[in-house]
Structure 1
Amino acid sequence: MKKEKKPDNVVFNEDTQEYHGKLSPFATGVSAPKITPPDVTSWKNTHIVSANNQFKAEYEALQETYKKLMANFEYNNLVYSAKFNFEPIVGKVYHLYKAKDESTFLSLILPQECNFNHVGSFKLTSDKTWEKVK
């Protein structure tokens, strides 16, 4: 015997033999109200700007960290390439000077106590890097 087809397979449940269109989250008939998705454009635009500002702030922080790192790298290169005839002690402040022949040397002598061209004062840290002293 031929099975009789119900008018709408989308909303008819064969197991319970009932229509469940009223339970559907979508329109199930021609006379059903039109479903319009909410306009999320303004929400997206607001949050895109917010996210972009967050990324920009993180990027600028990374840039600043990079600049400080490169400055420390340059200071370390400058001090380690200088001439000195002693073993620096961690935590002590040393002074970098430029000689007449444009070479650099590290000294314990304070800038006020000599007439050398003072480049900067540096402190040796525990990780053996040089930190510029203001």
Structure 2
Amino acid sequence: MENKKPDNVVFSAEGKYNAGILPYSTNVGAPAIKLDDVVGWKSRGIHNVNKEFQSKFDELKLQYQNLMREYEWNELIYNAKFSFEPVVGEIYHLYLGEDGIHFLSLIAPHEWNKEHIGTFKLNSDKKWILLHENSSKFRFDVR
């Protein structure tokens, strides 16, 4: 009967009483071992990360659309008809001629009766910056 130990005592023949070094509780009076509920934490994490990704995606999409719009305007102006060398910093106006060809001019829209497309300024990188668009006359389809 001396070799028999009670059920609530942790005993091994090699380690003797080793309850103090075990990573889990060994006494029936010890608190219950409960696993953390990580499903809720994961769900919140996934939601927050997806929200961040969507926000970044929307931001990049808007930047892309703005870049494509700038590209379309610059391509339109560089393909327009003009017989002068534009000066950096000056303001120019894009018109649609009666023959259907776009042309660039220094003359403001209120100074004559032509179909005004937009007002632009040439920057030092030779990029045309849109200052005013006559949206009722012209529209790019940028997706």
Tell me whether 72-81 or 38-47 shows the greater mean CA deviation. Answer: 38-47
Q: Say which of 37, 40, 43 aligns to 1:39.
A: 37
Matched position secondary structure for 2:130: strand
CA distance 1:8–1:67, shift in 2 (3 Å): farther
Shift of 1:44: 1.1
Matched residue count: 121
Q: TM-score, normalised by structure 1?
A: 0.78
Q: TM-score, normalised by structure 2?
A: 0.73
Q: Say which of 67, 70, 78 aligns to 1:80.
A: 78
Segments of structure 2 that go 5 or more residues without pairing to the other structure are: 1-11, 133-143
Letter in 2 for 1:25: P
Residue identity over aligned pairs, in percent, reads 42
Tell me the distance in 2 between the aligned counterparts of 1:46 and 1:114.
61
Q: Say which of 90, 97, 100 aligns to 1:99.
A: 97
Tell me whether 32-41 or 53-62 shows the greater mean CA deviation. Answer: 32-41
Tell me the distance in 2 between the aligned counterparts of 1:52 and 1:114.
53
Shift of 1:40: 0.9
Tell me the distance in 1 between the aligned counterparts of 2:85 and 2:23.
79
Q: CA RMSD in A?
A: 2.4
Alignment of 1:1-134 (within 5 A): 7=12, 12=15, 20-26=18-24, 35-134=33-132
Where does residue 4 of structure 1 map in the other structure? none
Matched position secondary structure for 1:52: helix
Shift of 1:90: 1.1
CA distance 1:94–1:23, shift in 2 (3 Å): same
Cα-to-partner distance string for 1:2-49 (whole Å, 9 max, x where unaligned) = xxxxx467xx4xxxxx7654233246x797876442111111111211
Letter in 2 for 1:131: I
Tell me the distance in 2 between the aligned counterparts of 1:68 and 1:42.
39
